[in-house]
Amino acid sequence: MLKQVRNCILLLSAIGAFASCKNGSIFKKKPEKSTATGWNYNDKNQGGYFVAKPKDIKTGPGLVFVQGGTFTMGATQEDVMGDWNNVPRRVTVNSFFIDKTEVANVHYREYIHWIENVFQDNQAVIDGAKPDTLVWRSELAYNEPYVEYYFRHPSYNYYPVVGVTWRQAHDFCIWRTDRVNEISLINAGYQNKNVLKTELNGGGQDNFNTKSYLMGAYEGVPGKPKNNPLKDAQGRPRTTVTMSDGILFPDYRLPTEAEWEYAALGYVGENPEPRRSEKKRGEELIANKQLYAWQNDGFDNLRSTRHGAWQGAFLANFKRGAGDYMGTAGGLNDRSAIPSEVTSFFPNSYGLYNMSGNVNEWVADVYRPTTNQDEDDLNPFRGNVFTKVDKSGGEDPENWRDSLGRIKEIPEADSTLTHRRNYQRSYAIDYLDGDSLSRASYGYGITTLISDKSRVYKGGSWNDMPYWLSPGSRRYLQEDQSSSTIGFRCAMTHYGAPEGTSFKHNKTGNFFPSRRQKR
């Protein structure tokens, strides 16, 4: 018995010693030093410069990671329309995120619900956010049930929202960014959940906006996070989050045309040897140029060719021919006379649904027929207007917000850009296209139907023939107009290594063993 007591005492002493050492200098982790100055990071005694650990950003709600790369953007089949607006050209897009599905009615009604509660005293804001359900109306068709119920009835909850202008889709992306970041701060304890009660009870201008929060124009109700790792220069816990803390998500936005087309093609599935580890390098090879969003598998690319119950089934929702929207009773081909659920039909290699068919989708770009010839070959995009914060109301950040709670922005003055080498004008929509630098004049918006408000849409719809289902096909509509055949999905920029979170060694560039090269 005495021996057992002695052993217990020795064990408890060892545990106490271990705990003492763990809290002492033996197990204390040395602070990271700056390789530029030698000062410690995250050390209140040496400046208190807080540096978050490098990490890949989390995948936001509803998104899928798309590993970037090079591809031939443009036509994949004969230009039967004679537009010649999608000339093939080799470009590269960096890695990004994109929605797995089109934005559905239920998602957009969630947005309207928020607008109606936060801006309950501003009917103009509410009306400006609602989709135009009259896009279903036709003089020579009985479509009134869709006018009344397609957007509102629960039977259509997960059908893609239509009747939304490019501008409304753009605003939805801003709203989605704010809601995702707001709930992230609340869940982490940096904002008090009671802020939602005030916001949804007619909060109006005083609602959470990510950029307003980061610029100090919105404080909300700070929370009290447990085990708060964030510190100020004096080593005291702080509750105000910055982008460098790695907690907030980047902006949801409309995908660029290049991103959308690249994601639709799903080239990761066309690479026979994808890179899976540091020791096994993938082949730099694209095996095939796909005609539609799914992999080519047999001669008839519009239907499943695999043996089994689904052989011959249509892989997308489209119009097979004049008057044929879904086939014959008892043998319906795509089972959809109008748009179908956003998770219906066959996903592509990235797991993205309905990149061909169902509804066309807005992308961020301004339309020009010569786009592929003019743009950069890395992350090509036409539509930039470079802005700065409008501080005409004074230096108080609270005066920088507009009536919606967003930061007011104005174009940069061209006079301040004359000494820059990378850009000399803030309005770049018509750059090298009808301006003095290009020495060309097209009269867009004057002599043609194309203007600086013409936005690209892609993908084909339930009311389109197969030609428009090809990812390289492109059309345009004014940004303030809508259609029963156009919806949208959101995207998000990916920060960090291009191979993303799924790759074990998440690095940018190739890292070789540390040894000197032979002379």
Q: What is the pLDDT of residue 246?
A: 86
Q: What is the pLDDT of residue 435?
A: 66
Q: How confident is the model at residue 22 (pLDDT cuts 50, 70, 90)?
A: very low
Q: What is the pLDDT of residue 349?
A: 87
Q: What is the pLDDT of residue 44?
A: 75
pLDDT tens per residue across span 298-357: 545 776 766 666 666 778 999 988 998 888 888 788 888 999 999 999 898 899 999 999
Helix (H) or strand (E) holding 490: none
Q: How confident is the model at residue 215 (pLDDT cuts 50, 70, 90)?
A: very high
Which range has the worst mean pLDDT, 149-153, 332-336, 504-508? 504-508
Q: What is the pLDDT of residue 504?
A: 52
Helix (H) or strand (E) holding 389: strand 387-389
C-alpha span between 507 and 55 (Å, rounded) = 10
Instruction: Give CA angle at 7 (5, 11), nearest 5°.
Output: 115
More confident: 320 or 138: 138
> Is residue 354 left, alpha or beta, with left meaning phi > 0 and alpha meaning psi from -120 to 50?
left
Q: How confident is the model at residue 23 (pLDDT cuts 50, 70, 90)?
A: very low
C-alpha span between 390 and 368 (Å, rounded) = 30
- Inter-CA distances, 264 with 71, 302, 410, 444, 501, Å: 12, 15, 34, 29, 21
Length of the chain measured in residues: 519
Is residue 185 scored above 80 in pLDDT? yes
Closest CA to 103 of 157, 64, 58, 146: 157
Q: How confident is the model at residue 168 (pLDDT cuts 50, 70, 90)?
A: very high
- Inter-CA distances, 22 with 226, 282, 478, Å: 22, 44, 65
Domains in the chain: boundaries: 56-190+247-378+452-493
C-alpha span between 367 and 85 (Å, rounded) = 10
Q: What is the pLDDT of residue 282?
A: 59
Q: What is the pLDDT of residue 479?
A: 97
C-alpha span between 208 and 317 (Å, rounded) = 38
Is residue 496 scored above 60 in pLDDT? yes
Residue whose structure tokens are 């005609």: 291
C-alpha span between 8 and 14 (Å, rounded) = 10
Contact between residue 367 and residue 393 where contact means Cβ atoms under 8 Å apart: no
Is residue 226 scored above 60 in pLDDT? yes
Which range has the worst mean pLDDT, 133-142, 207-216, 436-445? 436-445
Q: CA dihedral defined by 178, 182, 185, 189, rounded to 10 degrees?
A: 170
Sequence-separated (6 or more) residues with CB below 8 Å from residue 310: 304
Pick the CATH number of 56-190+247-378+452-493 from 3.40.50.300, 3.40.50.720, 1.20.120.1200, 3.90.1580.10: 3.90.1580.10
Q: Please tell me the pTM assigned to this model.
A: 0.87
C-alpha span between 464 and 469 (Å, rounded) = 8
C-alpha span between 353 and 270 (Å, rounded) = 17
Q: Is 203 helix (H, G, I), strand (E, B) or coil?
A: coil
Q: What is the pLDDT of residue 360?
A: 98
pLDDT tens per residue across span 372-426: 677 899 999 999 999 999 999 999 999 999 999 999 999 999 999 999 999 999 9
Q: What is the pLDDT of residue 404?
A: 95
Q: What is the pLDDT of residue 157?
A: 97
More confident: 437 or 287: 437
Q: How confident is the model at residue 8 (pLDDT cuts 50, 70, 90)?
A: low
Q: How confident is the model at residue 17 (pLDDT cuts 50, 70, 90)?
A: very low
Token pair listed for 21:
């050492």
Beta bridge partners of 65: 97
Mean pLDDT of the chain: 85
Q: What is the pLDDT of residue 506?
A: 58
Task: Kindly provide the b/e burial profile for residues 20-31, where b requires at least 16 CB atoms within 10 angstroms of the residue's own CB.
Answer: eeeeeeeeeeee
Q: How confident is the model at residue 371 (pLDDT cuts 50, 70, 90)?
A: confident
Q: What is the pLDDT of residue 11?
A: 52
